[in-house]
Each structure stands twice: as structure tokens, then as C-alpha cells.
A and B are shown apart, each in its own frame.
Chain A
Amino acid sequence: MADGKVIVVTSGKGGVGKTTSSAAIAAALAQGGDRVCAVDFDVGLRNLDLIMGAERRVVFDLVNVVRGEASITQALVRDKRVESLFLLPASQTRDKDALTEEGVGSVIRELRMSFDWIVCDSPAGIERGATLAMKFADEAIIVSNPEVSSVRDCDRIIGLLDAKTVQAESGKRMPKHLLITRFDAERAKKGEMLSVDDVVDILSIPLLGVVPESKEVLKASNVGMPVTLSSEGSAPAKAYAEATRRLRGEDLPVSLPSDRKGLFGKLFRGRAA
């Protein structure tokens, strides 16, 4: 078991669903038996621990590990429900420079050796935290809401992924996946909201999945469970489960969340770029 894949979940804009998606996808990957580590890069504003229901078991964090105050093994928190799922929490320090590139690089290198997947939950913005979260990634999940400012910020992030990452610096192009979240099929149908097609067309990266706006997401966060675990049959859980299968490389058509009036099972094939 070595050479895990590093996935960064990023968006530029805040509050679009990065942490929700990181938790859901990490859990879905681990449910298949793979060893998965979710890493919270949101130093100062950690939340992945809360969303994954691990907040009371955090002892050490990413900053402690980077500073050599704790080993990775000491800092990892194992999930209570899925035994191959782990969390490396962010620290609550207000020190902006707590993370160094070398430090993060060596943590990632070590994680690659014992996990199949390393899911990095990026903070919002394009500052240090966000650039470090993407720096060592093998692939990126770009989270967008069907809304102008979110799409614009994603475009900016795509530019950074192609310039400021280890892959870009070595002349490679990082594979990118578009995850549209908080999608409201009814409003999109009425022309009140950008459609899936619109967002794919503008950003021109392949579609990983479409997660509908759903009350289940808030409920899941209330109880501290990734939505893929808390309500497996719900629409967002299904969407995340499918997105995860695509991330694994399955060629699965993207099913659009249907609006309330029906149109169930309408299939949409993401236009790969």
C-alpha cells in the first residue's frame, strides 16, 4: 500500500461546499475499502472535524505535525463508522505562516505512503492556505455553485492549478474535475440559475457530478456525519457516491438532479474537454 493519490477540493469562493464535498467524497472512497485521509487545510477556521464528527477527538493537528511537535500517526483521527477513513485536522492557530511549503510537502509525502487517497480540503481564497492545499495535488476537484461569482473564482483557481502547483512546474497539466453543488434544477429550468451545461461550457473542464441543493446536507452536518453516510439514499448522497465512482475512473453518465415536477432519470453526459 503506497503511492496514494492526492486530490485537492478547491473553489476560490467561500461557502460553496468544499468541506461538505471533501467529507462526503472521502467517506465514499473509504466505504469502498480504500484507505483515505482527509486533510483540513483551513488553518484558523477548521471545520472538517465538525462535519466528520471528530471534533472531540482532535489532539494534534497539521501545524503540530509540520512543526515536528507530533507525528502524523499521533495527529490522525480515525473515523468511528468507517475504519479506513482518517482525518488530519487543521489547527486553530491565527498564525498565517504556520504552514510551510517544505513542511506540507513532507507531510503529503508521508501520507502517500500509507493511504490510497489523500483528500485536501482547501480554504477559500487564493492565499497561502489555498495554494498550499493545491501545491502537491495529483488531481483537482473544482467546486462551483451555479452562480456568477463562484464560476468566476473557479476560473481563477484553474489558472492557479495550471501555474502554481508541482505538476504545473514540471510541465504537466493537472487533471481537473468540475463538481457543481447546491444545484436547483427547477430554477435552472426556469432560466433563473445557470444550467449545468452553462457552467461546463464556461469552465470547460469535465463534469464530475452535480449535487442538488438539499436539506439533507444541513442535517448531516448537524449530526457530524458526511452526507454519504448519514442518509445514503438521499439525492446529495447519491450524487456524491456517483461522483466518487467517476473519480475512481468509472465512465458513468452524470445524472442530473431532477426538478420537483419530475423529469426523473434525465441523463446528461458531461462534455469532457
Chain B
Amino acid sequence: MNIFSLLTRRTNTAVVAKDRLKILLAHERVSTGSNAELVNKLREDILAVVRKHLEIDPEAVKVEMDRNGDMTMLGIDIELPVDNKPAAEDEGKSASKAAGA
């Protein structure tokens, strides 16, 4: 919220409501959604595959699914340690996004 909106919309609690909802739902869609189980399985499988080749922390694999209209986005984010040789040329981080139906 900028100064302008603070001055002109002192009573605009709707903006606060919208922001809070957006943040909350982004989390709930992953954790309580029907996809929670699927996301967990995907995370475990991806972790196992990556671990065959690289040593990574189990926490380094982040999988999330977000709904947006008729599209569901599957986001996979894997953080690789900097000293990991095969990944040394990367900036230590690789991310990929894939869209599904």
C-alpha cells in the first residue's frame, strides 16, 4: 500500500481483506487441497530420483500445485548445494515449471 492509497482510502479494509485471502489461499490450495497427497508423493519421488545422482537435503525439494482458472500449475523447485560438482555451473539453483490440465 502506498502513501496515496493510505491518504485516499483510509477506510479501505477491502484491500486488506483481498491481500490476506490471496496469501492464505495460496497456502491452503496446496496443503488442504485434494492435491495435497499427490504433491507429497511427487515430492518424495522427485527427491528419490535426484538423490540417485546428487546429494541434496530433503528440504531442498519444493513441489507445489496452484489452481488458476482452468489451469493447474505444477511448480517444482529444487535447491542444489553450491559445492555440488555436477551442478557447479548453475547458479546453485534450478527451477522448472510445467503446466498440466
State the A residues within 8 Å of B (CB).
147-148, 151-152, 155-156, 158-160, 162-164, 168, 173, 188, 190-195, 198, 201-202, 204-205, 273
Contacts and interface: CB of A to CB of B under 8 A. Distances in A.
Contacts of B67: 158-159, 162, 204
Contacts of A155: 25, 28-29
A188 B17 CA distance: 12
B65 to A, nearest CB: 11
Interface in B58-76: 67-70
Contacts of B12: 190-192
Contacts of B2: none
A148 B32 contact: no
Given A162-B67, A192-B13, A193-B14, 13 more contacts: A148-B20, A156-B28, A159-B67, A162-B34, A168-B34, A173-B70, A188-B14, A191-B9, A191-B13, A192-B14, A194-B14, A202-B21, A204-B68
A205 B69 CA distance: 6
Contacts of B69: 204-205, 273
Given A188-B14, A195-B14, A273 B32 contact: no
4 closest Cβ contacts across the A-B interface?
A: A273-B69, A163-B34, A191-B12, A159-B33
A229 to B, nearest CB: 34
B49 interface: no
